[in-house]
């Protein structure tokens, strides 16, 4: 039993840290902070990403293992590394796993280079948590499919040039068994994109409308009607959110520095028992969230990850992030509501940014309620 990492892993982590510390500086850092202050997500830099590809660091989970890959994710989150192609990597992994040789040859290089960028087309106005109830249809017609329907809350929907769209291809079978995945170009006739402003977190969310949109059969990923199972596997993989652990570590450090430097009535806030207690509690929660998520990563080295592991890790991390946002506002007090570009803003307005982003944490990628269902039913064996 060992909770730390091996010497080799720590050396790799140090290498990654040193690289990020050096490269994410000067103008690049300014550019990142500008975006970050507004939307709590690092912007994406294809050039920066290219260098990481060259170093082999975006493929660490294949060259070394999932633990190394996760370490990289955590440090990327911490340093706010402007890594691009997140969705593209997920889709690439699906195509790698179930795609035809023709699909691999066509799509994989274009995904890796960023020529194809991906928005997620999962939720619909009528279904989010109950995704299997989706109604967007894809009907075969010659060597094409015709897609009709609507997707909403599509992340990257404003700026991407393709979408991975989950559609119904069979109405004669139980709902999970008639679902397929399509890679749909968003610049073809019949596609309408409408940006959907959310209160916080991301500025790249849209509604996608499909009116008789024609796509080649090549764009049907894997086997028809098997899409639900491909998605389930990839969603589990997505849910180990180690990058967010790094992000919260950074926020905690910023708060610690703030309370050490800020004085009220001549005393630093760091000596206020209430502030100490709150920050210590948050630190313990971040540690538990880190351990829960790395437990999933460790489990992945031994086989399929028990679904409740990933649900516990995600749910707890995201609810902790909400608590950290609240704590940040409590520490900043009167200054908490000030936006990043306001006079007198403290901590570059990040308490306000985080707090506006916070409700999204327990809604995106599986609501907390769904996660708790998974934990109870698949973790504890409680009856449906």
Partner 1 sequence: MDLDFSQEQVMFRTTCRDFLSKECPGTLVRELESSDEGYSPELWRKIADLGWLGLTFPERYGGLGGDSLDLAILYDEMGRANFPSPHLATVVLGGHTILECGSEEQKQELLPKIAWGELLLSLAFTEPGFRYEPMAIATKATAQGEEFVLNGTKLFVPNANVADYLICVARTGDGGKTEEGITLFLLDAHAPGIICTPLKAISEIGHEKQCEVIFQDVRVPKDNILGELGQGCAPVVKILNQATVAVCAEMVGGAQAVLEMSVEYSKERVAFGRPIGSFQALQHKMADMLVEVDGAWLLTYQAACMISEQIPCAKQVAMAKAWTSNAYRRVTAEAIQIHGAYGFCSEVDTTLYYRRAKAGEFALGDPRFHRNLVASEMGL
Residues that bind partner 1 (CB under 8 A): 1-5, 67, 256, 259-260, 270-271, 273, 275-277, 279-281, 283-284, 287-288, 291-292, 294-295, 297-298, 308, 312, 315-316, 369, 371-373, 375-377, 379-384
Q: Taking the complex as a whole, how short is the minimal distance between the CB of residue 333 and partner 1, in angstroms?
A: 17
Identify which of residues 116 and 286 has a Cβ nearer to partner 1 in the complex: 286
Q: Taking the complex as a whole, how short is the minimal distance between the CB of residue 250 and partner 1, in angstroms?
A: 14
Report the C-alpha gap between 299 and 302 in whole angstroms: 5
Identify which of residues 41 and 67 has a Cβ nearer to partner 1 in the complex: 67
Report the C-alpha gap between 384 and 362 in whole angstroms: 22
Q: Taking the complex as a whole, how short is the minimal distance between the CB of residue 3 and partner 1, in angstroms?
A: 4
Q: Taking the complex as a whole, how short is the minimal distance between the CB of residue 292 and partner 1, in angstroms?
A: 7
Report the C-alpha gap between 24 and 31 in whole angstroms: 10
Pair of tokens at residue 370: 């769904």
Identify which of residues 77 and 121 has a Cβ nearer to partner 1 in the complex: 77
Please state whether beta strands 137-141 and 144-155 pair in parallel, antiparallel, or not at all (unpaired): antiparallel
The single-letter DSSP state of residue 226 is: B
Identify which of residues 343 and 384 has a Cβ nearer to partner 1 in the complex: 384
Q: Taking the complex as a whole, how short is the minimal distance between the CB of residue 5 and partner 1, in angstroms?
A: 7
Identify which of residues 1 and 47 has a Cβ nearer to partner 1 in the complex: 1
Identify which of residues 16 and 297 has a Cβ nearer to partner 1 in the complex: 297
Q: Taking the complex as a whole, how short is the minimal distance between the CB of residue 379 and partner 1, in angstroms?
A: 6
Answer for the pair 290, 217: CB distance below 8 angstroms, yes or no: no
Q: Which residues contact 25 (CB under 8 A, 6 or more apart)?
A: none
Report the C-alpha gap between 202 and 339 in whole angstroms: 16
Identify which of residues 257 and 341 has a Cβ nearer to partner 1 in the complex: 257
Pair of tokens at residue 343: 């006079």
Helix axes 66-79, 242-261, angle to 10 degrees: 40
Q: Taking the complex as a whole, how short is the minimal distance between the CB of residue 384 and partner 1, in angstroms?
A: 7
Please state whether beta strands 162-168 and 179-185 pair in parallel, antiparallel, or not at all (unpaired): antiparallel
Identify which of residues 53 and 291 has a Cβ nearer to partner 1 in the complex: 291
- DSSP for 82-128, please give it: ----HHHHHHHHHHHHH--HHHHHHHHHHHHHTSS-EEEE--BTTBS
Q: Taking the complex as a whole, how short is the minimal distance between the CB of residue 268 and partner 1, in angstroms?
A: 9
Answer for the pair 355, 201: CB distance below 8 angstroms, yes or no: no
Question: Hey, how many other C-beta atoms are within 10 angstroms of the C-beta on 199?
Answer: 10
Instruction: Kindly state the helix (H) or strand (E) to which residue 195 belongs, with its residue range.
Output: strand 191-195
């Amino acid at each position: 039993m060992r909770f730390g990492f091996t010497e080799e892993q720590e050396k790799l982590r140090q290498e990654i840290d040193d690289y990020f510390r050096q490269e994410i500086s000067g103008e690049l850092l300014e550019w990142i902070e500008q975006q970050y202050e507004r939307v709590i997500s690092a912007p994406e830099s294809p050039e920066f990403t290219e260098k990481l590809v060259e170093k082999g660091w975006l493929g660490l989970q294949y060259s070394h293992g999932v633990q190394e890959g996760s370490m990289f994710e955590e440090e990327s989150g911490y340093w706010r590394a402007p890594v691009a192609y997140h969705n593209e990597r997920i889709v690439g992994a699906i195509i790698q796993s179930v795609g035809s040789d023709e699909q691999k040859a066509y799509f994989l290089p274009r995904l890796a280079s960023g020529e194809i960028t991906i928005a997620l087309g999962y939720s619909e106005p009528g279904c989010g948590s109950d995704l299997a109830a989706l109604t967007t249809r894809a009907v075969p017609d010659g060597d094409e499919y015709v897609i009709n329907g609507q997707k909403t809350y599509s992340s990257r929907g404003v700026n991407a040039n393709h979408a991975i769209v989950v559609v119904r291809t069979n109405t004669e079978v139980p709902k999970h068994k008639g679902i397929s995945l399509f890679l749909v170009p968003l610049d073809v006739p019949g596609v309408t994109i409408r940006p959907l402003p959310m209160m916080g977190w991301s500025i790249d969310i849209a509604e996608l409308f499909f009116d008789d949109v024609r796509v080649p059969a090549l764009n049907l990923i894997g086997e028809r009607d098997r899409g639900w199972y491909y998605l389930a596997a990839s969603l589990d993989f997505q849910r180990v959110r180690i990058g967010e652990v790094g992000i919260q570590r950074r926020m905690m450090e910023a708060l610690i520095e703030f309370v050490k430097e800020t004085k009220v009535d001549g005393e630093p806030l760091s000596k206020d028992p209430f502030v100490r207690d709150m920050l210590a509690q948050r630190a313990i929660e971040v540690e538990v969230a880190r351990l829960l998520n790395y437990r999933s990563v460790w489990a992945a080295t031994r086989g399929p990850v028990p679904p409740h592991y990933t649900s516990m890790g995600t749910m707890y991390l995201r609810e902790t992030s909400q608590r950290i946002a609240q704590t940040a506002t409590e520490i900043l007090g009167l200054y908490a509501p000030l936006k990043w570009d306001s006079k007198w803003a403290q901590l570059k307005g990040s308490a306000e940014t985080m707090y506006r982003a916070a409700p999204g944490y327990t809604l995106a990628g599986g609501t907390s309620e769904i996660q708790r269902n998974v934990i109870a039913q698949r973790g504890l064996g409680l009856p449906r």
